[in-house]
Structure 1
């Protein structure tokens, strides 16, 4: 037998099988310890439980009606103390009057009463009533009165016409229409030549004739305001 053979033991199959079983058991123990350590460390940690959110329910409560105030108690009747009657005073004895004889006086003479003076009574003066105004004339009566007055004016103006010497020397003639305005009293307000005769001397003579004529007032049936009249004045050298 050599040295190499003596120094190294012979590894039999049985030795190999025991060595593998030990290693397997050690590995299982180590794994079990590790699992146990993990479980212990997990159990040792505090468990945190999340609180559930609280649900708040709000209920609307109708307020109760206010209680009626109690009525105040009725006032106590006031009791007035009864007045103490005062003692009546004793009556004082009056002296008995003695009758006295009265003599009748003579009657007084009656005096006649003088009446009190009375205040003068004022009587207002009586104003005489104005006579009623006459009724207004009808339009036909007014127009008739105006036509009559106008005819009278033409006759009066023509009768007052005077032929001047200038017209006589010219041996001419003609008719001029003069328009003039009168007041109800017959006063002449204005006069002008409304239609010329073609000859200045005749126009001037006709206008002067109207200005020199006196006119009567209006009649009762004519209007009470100024009026305008037209008069034809004829002048000729052969006239008077």
Structure 2
């Protein structure tokens, strides 16, 4: 064997067949890997769902015919106010002429002769007579009228007694003699205690009762001058 023969050995047909089958398998594996990679990359991407388009239905509606406009109302008849009749002017009454009566002139009086003036005669004035004064009452009648007035005064004082509450609580009683002077009209000029009861509150109550009363006027038979009265006042509680 020479050197050329050793460097390039002759490949047998069995070797070629193994080499081709091996290359075919490698190609199939590479193709399978590529297909798997494509499938993996496709599965890893998010799936986007396209929305379905909305279908809008349009219905054509026939417009309603326009309503006829209402006819305007007939114009109202114009009523003219009745003219107010003007009042007729009142006729001015004409003065009725009165016939003028012509009286005849009276005859002129005859001038009489005037007598000569006389001296005035003095007549003294007549004084009217005063009415006769009533007869003065007798002393007995006057005393009787005074006694009757004193009894009325004593009843008035006893009826108008105002007993203070302090006397009622202390049950104080007594009799006081009070002297006082009255005008003919019944007005009290003064009053004082003539005889005390011995209790100051009783004396003050009696004197106050005498001063606070409006007495009647004197009767006709009583004297028309200021008169002194002495009355006993009894106070009981």
TM-score normalized with structure 2 length = 0.48
